[in-house]
Structure 1
């Protein structure tokens, strides 16, 4: 059985994206989450360890708007160059009923996300990473997530897209790792107790 991890940058009050300048702006501001070099390297190492990445539509659109050519940007660091190459090479699945085409070693799934994730977890292979709050909510509610990685930034934004979904029942987890990064950023990694 393959392990499924859900990890993202998150605000201290639990959001992966904040409301824009006003409370009526769409919740898509991630300017608070600019990573230090150390944190970027940590994310790169995590991405290299995954054999498959699962994306919801919004995160796919964000990632695919930059990383296909991220290694060709004028001031790209060696870690950013490696991240872009790894991103292109890693197999990806995008879950969306509104996108009709994906690229860069990616396939599209328009059907039941929880059923497809269950199928993917049952296959042979290495770890799977899931990203995007809406997609992760489906996996959370279905009890499919084995590991939660919260990279908490010291900022309160007051609203936006939450990291966690509303659940029908409790999920017990064990803290298995903490790591501090520059700027007061803290990683906490939890494994789901089965």
Structure 2
């Protein structure tokens, strides 16, 4: 069975707004490695559209946006090439190597997990909450940034029951960020 992994950047005060984390070459390399461990990515509509807008390779020109540093290119290439499943009740169609995941979320994700391969990756905030409720996430990674922002969305707001986790890995970065990996206690 393929494991479903979740990874997200979060500040010390719990904010998971993507614009509030700090990023550098080392953290981008780590994110690239995380994505490369997955056979497919599972996104909700918001995360899919945000990632597509930022990281879809330009089809005709091949020219990267001015803001994109050269060290970001491996991440862009990895996410651009990855198979994607999009959970959405509002999108009519998707492309960018993606397909819509419709119907019963638990059954659909369980079916994906049953397929052979290295694993699946989920990103975002709302979809992982639903998957945690269903007990489908096999590994959680929180990349904790040494920053306080005092606002923003937090993770797992509204979770109906606690999920006890055990620490299975820790990695420190030069920026002071720490990646903490957990598995659910079963």
Q: Fold match, TM over 0.5?
A: yes
Give the C-alpha shift of residue 112 in structure 1. Answer: 2.6
Query: How many Å separate the matches in 2 of 1:72 and 1:191?
Result: 40
Q: Deviations over 1:49-87 (max 9, x none)?
A: 111100011111110002112773156445422222221
Match of 1:33 among 21, 32, 45: 21
Query: How many Å separate the matches in 2 of 1:34 and 1:64?
Result: 20
Structure 1: runs of 5+ lacking an equivalent: 18-29
Q: Deviations over 1:108-135 (max 9, x none)?
A: 1232322211111122222100111111
Match of 1:53 among 41, 58, 62: 41
Superposition TM-score, scaled by structure 1 size: 0.85
Aligned length: 182
- Aligned CA distance change for structure 1 residues 132 and 79 (closer, same or farther; 3 Å): same
Give the C-alpha shift of residue 153 in structure 1. Answer: 1.1
Residue pair 1:141, 1:165 contacting (<8 A) in 2 also: no
- Aligned CA distance change for structure 1 residues 123 and 165 (closer, same or farther; 3 Å): farther
Q: Deviations over 1:167-189 (max 9, x none)?
A: 33332211111111123211111
Structure 2: runs of 5+ lacking an equivalent: none
Query: How many Å separate the matches in 2 of 1:51 and 1:147?
Result: 15
Runs ≥4 in structure 1, deviation > 6 angstroms?
A: none
Partner of residue 118, structure 2: 126
Give the C-alpha shift of residue 162 in structure 1. Answer: 1.6
Superposition TM-score, scaled by structure 2 size: 0.89
Partner of residue 86, structure 1: 78
Q: Deviations over 1:17-43 (max 9, x none)?
A: 1xxxxxxxxxxxx33213121111011
Partner of residue 21, structure 1: none
Written as runs of structure 1 = structure 2, the 5 A alignment for 1:1-194 is: 1-17=1-17, 30-69=18-57, 72-73=63-64, 74=66, 76-194=68-186
